Amino acid sequence: MKSRYLIRFDDICPTMNWSVWESVESILLKYHIKPILAVVPDNQDPKLVVDAPRPDFWEKVRQWQSYGWTIALHGHQH
């Protein structure tokens, strides 16, 4: 029997730490891992403000979805 795992990333938002995420994303793509990405559409949590808001955030979310990744809601405003 083959093992299967669910991998979920929470707090995906326009102001997250994009330099760290780019490293994670490259590993996911390299190993064909299809995670669940839990998005905060309208982040109001100051702890999640690491970078300036990414202007193409929703375009990026649609790109992840095109990879077969699952997009989830992690609280509208957190």
pLDDT at 76: 78
At 54, is the pLDDT very low, low, confident or very high (cuts 50, 70, 90)?
very high
- 41-70 average pLDDT score: 95
Could you tell me the pTM of the whole model?
Answer: 0.91
Q: Where are the beta strands (DSSP E) in 1-78?
A: 8-12, 36-39, 70-73
pLDDT tens across 27-53, in order? 999 999 999 999 999 989 999 999 999
d(C-alpha 24, C-alpha 19), whole Å: 9
